[in-house]
Amino acid sequence: MTSDLSVEVGGLELRGPVLAASGTFGYGTEVPLLERRALGAMVSKGIFLKPRAGTAPPRIAETPSGMLNAIGLQGPGVDGLIRDYAPKWAAWDFPVLVNINGESAAEYGELSARLDGVPGVAGFEINISCPNVEQGGMYFGNDPRAAASVTEAVRRRTKLPVWVKLTPMVSDIGIIARAVEAAGADALSAVNTFVGMSMDLNAYQPRLSFRTGGLSGPAIRPLAVHLAHQAARAVDIPVIGVGGIMRAEDALEFLVAGCRAVQVGTATFVNPNAIAEVHDGIAAFMAAKGFASLSELPRYLPRD
């Protein structure tokens, strides 16, 4: 039997539940080998209004079953994106969401307004793991009010789907999830990377020039499954699970834990065909269990 893997996620009809995570698939134009047939959607590398050079090297360090990165959101800014990438996306057979970033709620709002209506831009993923420069550098992502204000600022400027990418660096992810849902988010992506550090024993300094970096990869999977599950229990909008998915079983853990879809990040670095393999593995699992569609997959979502 063939199972139907299509899903509706936060205002978008997707042909499959496996998405490319922001910052791990570039602008989708980089690599000829990457298998696109199974891609549910792509989230672009995060951009700001203005071009950004990014941080000095070293930018990455490997850790057990994980990697730290501090890329510093290097990117062309909104004009470059509209000029160089969006026209290509417009021709593709899967939707592309733009991961948007800013230093103030107004900046997020302006960015979404600039991109609203640009052919090829199917929606937004708001990255709230950015420092709020107006409020003394506190992160938007761990203050429910700041997270909601960013979401509202974007919501007001676009009719396109708005997803919010949650940070794991919070005491209670449910509070943030509910705040951004109330502010108009159509879906949540959970989660972004965890802040980590690794020391160089020759230089007696951090390995990364930025000192700290975001931890991704299989090491964080049990933490990400838990946070995505907590978010899914807190809200009614769909949650997209992200963190350490290398193969179908890992994606299924997120789906069973209550997620509507998943994003694959670091795995693509290791295996450029990871997304297709995860998709195919989910299809094989569904077929073996006799589930005709993803809605039949049992979910573990106690509401207590």
Partner 1 sequence: MWRLFLTDAPLVERRGVARDMWVLGFAAPEIAASVKAGQFVNIGLRLGSLLRRPFSVYRAEGDRIEVVLKAVGVGTAQMLAMREGDVASCLGPLGCGFDLSRPAKSVTLVSGGLGVAPMPLAVRDARAAGLHVTWVHGARTADELCSETDGDDVILATDDGSAGFAGTVVAAAPDADLVLACGPNRMLAAVSQRWPQAQVAVETYMGCGTGVCLGCAVPLTGGGYDRACTEGPVYLAADVDWQALPSHLSYAVSA
Q: Binds 291, which of a copy of itself, partner 1, ligand FMN, none (CB < 5 to 8 A, cut-off by type)? A: none
Give the footprint of ligand FMN on residues 195-254 (CB under 6 A): 216-217, 220, 242-245
CB 276 within 8 A of CB 284: no
C-alpha to C-alpha distance for 302 and 19, rounded to whole angstroms: 26
Residue 72: CB minimum distance to ligand FMN, A: 10
Q: Binds 58, which of partner 1, a copy of itself, ligand FMN, none (CB < 5 to 8 A, cut-off by type)? A: partner 1
By CB under 6 A, name the one of 49, 71, 223, 256 that touches ligand FMN: 71
Give the range of 18-26, 82-90, 169-177, 294-302 binding ligand FMN by CB under 6 A.
18-26
Name the E strands within the chain.
7-9, 12-14, 18-20, 42-43, 60-63, 66-69, 96-100, 123-127, 131-132, 138-139, 162-166, 187-190, 194-197, 199-200, 205-206, 212-216, 239-242, 261-264
By CB under 8 A, name the one of 273, 281, 297, 299 that touches partner 1: 273
Residue 37: CB minimum distance to a copy of itself, A: 25
Residue partners of 281: CB distance under 8 A and separation at least 6: 247, 248, 249, 251
Residue 216: CB minimum distance to partner 1, A: 10
C-alpha to C-alpha distance for 131 and 104, rounded to whole angstroms: 9
**Catalytic residue from among 9, 19, 130, 183:** 130
Give the footprint of ligand FMN on residues 258-277 (CB under 6 A): 264-267
Give the range of 19-27, 30-38, 136-144, 290-298 binding ligand FMN by CB under 6 A.
19-27
Where b means 16+ CB within 10 Å and e means fewer, 57-74 reads eebebebeebbbbbbebb
Give the footprint of partner 1 on residues 39-98 (CB under 8 A): 45, 53-67, 69, 71, 74
Catalytic (active site) residue 259: no
**Angular region, 211: left φ>0, alpha ψ -120 to 50, beta rest:** left
By CB under 8 A, name the one of 80, 272, 285, 299 that touches partner 1: 272
Catalytic residues: 130
